[in-house]
Amino acid sequence: MNVPDYQPTTSPQRVQSEANPRRAESWQAAWVRRTIPLMMALHFGSSQRPAPDVHTLRLRAHRYTWPARFATRLLYPKVRRHPDFHLAGEWIRPETAAAAHTETVVLFLHGGAYYFGSPATHRAVTYELAHASGSAVFALDYSLAPEHPFPAALEDTLHAYRTLLARGIVPGSIAFAGDSAGGGLALAALVALRDAGEPLPAGAVLLSPWADLTTIWRAKHNVLSMNRTAMEAAAKMYLQNARLFETLASPARAKLHGLPPVHIQTSDSEGLNADAHELAAKLQREGTWVEFAEWHAMPHAWHCFSPFVPEARAALAQGAVFMRDCWVKSVHDTST
């Protein structure tokens, strides 16, 4: 695996910043970077287009991610997948994962703008996280808009977390992870759990997080990685009767004190880059430990291309190292 060299620095304010050096990108990453705008142009090239056909986009997402699912199974034949009999979703377990009730667990929340995507479309991410972390990954199949608007997805996330706790998995053995909208959902779950006075997981990994629905105006009506037309349509379907500034829908707007350590990844070329910087800065100001990694010239949520793009595998390996550190710290804190 081609893992870039990092130059981490830690500030007195408890923010760790990791910048991916401006080394030559892989040919695979260059191909993906050129292909994404063409696909965006096909579906959202005009700001005058109506809201997307949800059913069609869901089918396309499943179809387009088939090569990644197939390649992932070939790369990691010893990683096993099976359903959960009480929660909607699937378990991804590497051969090295511990037995149930004693294992560490990554609760993964897929991206897809809150209205498409599934554990199946994100198996490239969950298999890689399971392999890199040596931990079981539970990919939640949460309720999607517009059939199930806010706060249905958040309620599903909280229910899944509480179910894991009820099964005897301790909070310090659980980490949240999510990409794009899933990253925003993970942050919202942390805020909701803190406000309810419930036990918090050991940490969270937010990959290209979409955690603020109020900043859509930054996106452009063109074919760049985050398109305003698509984002506006997604926000409308997700929120419906909720307010845009509702803090659990836009958790970057919430008070962010008292949260477990958070790892944020973004790319300097994606549309949510400024949002990620602002989120990290706010977490820092409010006393939450933040590890911030900015990658160069990657598209939004490039992690989904992990079987084909070395930078995607390296980024997920970086997130896995962070989660392992959180679990170790949690055990140490509990023992003392």
Distances in Å between the alpha carbon of 36 and those of 32, 58, 169, 187, 314? 6, 17, 39, 26, 20
In angstroms, rounded to a whole number, what is the distance separating the alpha carbons of residues 229 and 169?
Answer: 41
**Sign of torsion, CA 313 314 317 319?**
negative
Burial zone of 308 (CB within 10 Å; 0-12 exposed, 13-18 middle, 19+ buried): middle
Kindly state which CATH superfamily the domain 9-335 is placed in: Alpha/Beta hydrolase fold, catalytic domain (3.40.50.1820)
- Spatial CB neighbours of 142, under 8 Å, sequence gap ≥ 6: 88, 109, 152, 153, 156, 157, 160, 185
**pLDDT for the residue 98:** 65
Strand partners, 176: 107, 204
> What SS3 class is residue 249?
coil
How confident is the prediction along the chain (336 residues), in pLDDT tens digits per residue? 333 333 333 333 344 455 444 556 786 777 666 676 566 555 544 444 555 689 988 998 999 899 999 999 999 999 999 999 999 999 999 987 766 555 899 999 999 999 999 999 999 999 999 999 999 999 999 999 999 999 999 999 999 999 999 999 999 999 999 999 999 999 999 999 999 999 999 999 999 999 999 988 676 544 444 567 788 889 999 999 998 899 999 999 999 999 999 999 999 988 899 999 999 999 999 999 999 999 998 988 999 999 999 999 999 999 999 999 999 998 877 766
> Residue 220: left if φ>0, alpha if ψ -120 to 50, beta else—which one?
beta
**pLDDT for the residue 25:** 74
In angstroms, rounded to a whole number, what is the distance separating the alpha carbons of residues 326 and 321?
Answer: 9
Instruction: Give the domain ranges of the chain.
Output: 9-335
- Check: CB of residue 145 under 8 Å from CB of residue 237: yes
Task: Enter the DSSP assignment of 224.
Answer: S
Which residues are known to be catalytic? Answer: 180, 270, 300
Report pLDDT digits (tens) over 207-245.
999 999 998 867 654 444 456 778 888 999 999 999 889
